[in-house]
Amino acid sequence: MAVTVTGTTFDREVLASEVPVLVDFWASWCAPCLAVAPVLEALATEHGLKLVKVSYDDEPDLADRFGVQSIPNMILFKDGGPAAQVIGARPKAALAKAFGLLP
């Protein structure tokens, strides 16, 4: 299950995490964001990732901090930094490949 993070909790929940974290920048009005959400949940479960959600509307400073200009925008963090980024809703296999989750 995804955890909602804010500017206050981001560093602790994402950058200090001991496991890779998939950050989903999204908005409730964004249909592609809603469509990709269950796919992200499945990827997180299958690959042992922590999934967090950042509201694009409520956390514009976080969006700016990571150069997020359009949503859905997903960033995989490993060892305290961004490792891969995907912009736009994609099928599960395409996301897994883009994030380097496939062998």
Q: Which of 27, 30, 34, 98 is catalytic?
A: 30
Residue 1 a catalytic site member: no
Q: Which two tokens stand for residue 75?
A: 């960033």
How far is residue 72's CA from residue 31's CA, in Å, rounded to a whole number? 9
Q: Which of 14, 33, 63, 89 is catalytic?
A: 33
Amino acid identity at 7? G
The helix/strand/coil state of 74 is: strand
For residue 82, the 8-state DSSP code is E
Residue 30 a catalytic site member: yes
* CB contact at 8 A, 77 and 59: no
* CB contact at 8 A, 92 and 84: no
Active site residues: 30, 33
